Amino acid sequence: MSRSGRAEPIELYFDYVSHNAYLAWHRLGPLAAAAGRGVRAIPVVFGALLSAHRQLGPAEVPPKARWMVRDVARKAHDLALPLQPPASHPFLSLLALRVTTLATEERQGRARALIAALFDAAWGRSLPIDQPSVVAETASSVGLEGESLVERATQPEVKAKLRDATDRALAKGVFGVPTMIADERLFWGFDDLVNLERYLEGEDPLESIDLSAWWRVRSSGERRR
């Protein structure tokens, strides 16, 4: 809660390269609205999060990638969302993220429409959103000046803003996408939305469980790399 007593928006950290972020984007809005909350969508670079924590992405582990296709397909079916194979995967989402950063700063009212359109382009229509022309056309389709945004998104200051947003996410403990933060409580992945909902409804059991002993556990072995 804010000092004024009003509920703060739920922060959603996302990257278009994540199919689970696509699903979470569509599910989080209604969930937040039911709790009287807004959503603050924050584009970040998934690859930079992985590098910071020395992780591989799901698409870089073939058996995991194949499992996730089946898992995400089930979820999309249950949500009645279109899901198509992307043009390539993993794909470079930097341009789309930078354009979104600009739109979020300048055209708040259009930013949500742009995010939805870019997610749909990548995961609903198999469009290559790593291509400038596709990003520009998608932005124009929601009433933005697509070509201008794409051109400006290559400027150093815009690139720096996306890096800064990613660094701030890391400082908050974000390690993957989608990540949702409500009242400084972190929820990771589409499957954690159910726990976010429990928290928003005042039914999260962790609010009355002391986990401090877990944070004192030390490792007695190290995996060979």
* Per-position DSSP letters for 49-85, written without gaps between them: HHHHTT---GGGSHHHHHHHHHHHHHHHHHHT-----
Strand pairing class (185-188; 39-43): unpaired
- Residue 23 sits at the vertex; the CA angle it makes with 18 and 27, to the nearest 5 degrees, is 140
Instruction: Give the pLDDT score at 5.
Output: 52
Instruction: Give the pLDDT score at 13.
Output: 98
Phi, psi of 167 (to 5 degrees): -65, -40
Phi, psi of 39 (to 5 degrees): -125, 130
Q: Which amino acid is at 144?
A: L
Segments of the chain scoring below 70 in pLDDT: 1-6, 107-108, 225
User: Can you tell me the distance from the alpha carbon of 209 to that of 193, in angstroms, rounded to the nearest whole number?
Assistant: 20
pLDDT digits (tens, 9 = 90+) for 135-147: 999 999 999 999 9
Instruction: Give the pLDDT score at 225.
Output: 67
Q: What is the CA radius of gyration of the chain?
A: 18
* C-alpha to C-alpha distances, 116 to 17, 141, 156, 189, 195, nearest whole angstrom: 13, 11, 26, 18, 24
- In the chain the domains, ranked by start, together with CATH numbers, are 10-216 (3.40.30.10)
Instruction: Give the pLDDT score at 92.
Output: 97
pLDDT digits (tens, 9 = 90+) for 95-135: 999 999 999 987 667 899 999 999 999 999 999 999 999 99
Helix (H) or strand (E) holding 12: strand 10-14
